[in-house]
Amino acid sequence: MGTPDEAHAVNAVIDRLAGRFPQLQRERIATVVHEAHHELDGNPIRDFVPVLVEHEARERLQATGAQPVRVSDQDAAAAGPMIRAGEPDTETVFNARVTLLNGDLGGGTS
């Protein structure tokens, strides 16, 4: 499962997604998050696990027809330490990290 910090971050993912998908039961969201998290077991690089878990869980929830609601900066700040007012959301961070991992440093073509 990773470190206690990772477990705390995954619990924060559940909190954020529960706020984004208020029409779904929290238990259902937790199940989806834990499934996505356990698929990353054995991966030695744990730095991005919470971001990857949140991205995958959000996609799975949306695939069931659930639609996320926009959360205010105040609600986002209350949801946990990973989201702060004025900071990019996890989707933006995820996409930026995937771009970097794929070798695009943003310098354009040469």
Q: What are phi and psi of 24, to 5 degrees?
A: -100, 150
Kindly provide the b/e burial profile for residues 34-60, where b requires at least 16 CB atoms within 10 angstroms of the residue's own CB: bebbeebeeeeeeebbbbbbbbbbbee
pLDDT tens digits, 22-36: 999 999 999 999 999
Rounded percentage of the chain residues whose pLDDT exceeds 90:
45
Indicate the DSSP class of residue 68: P
103 dihedral zone (left: phi>0; alpha: psi -120 to 50; beta): left
Greater model confidence, 21 or 73: 21
Reported as a pLDDT band with limits 50, 70 and 90, residue 91 is: low
Greater model confidence, 1 or 50: 50
Whole-structure pTM value: 0.63
Segments making up each domain of the chain, as ranges: 4-101
Compute the mean pLDDT over every residue in the chain, rounded to the nearest whole number. Answer: 77
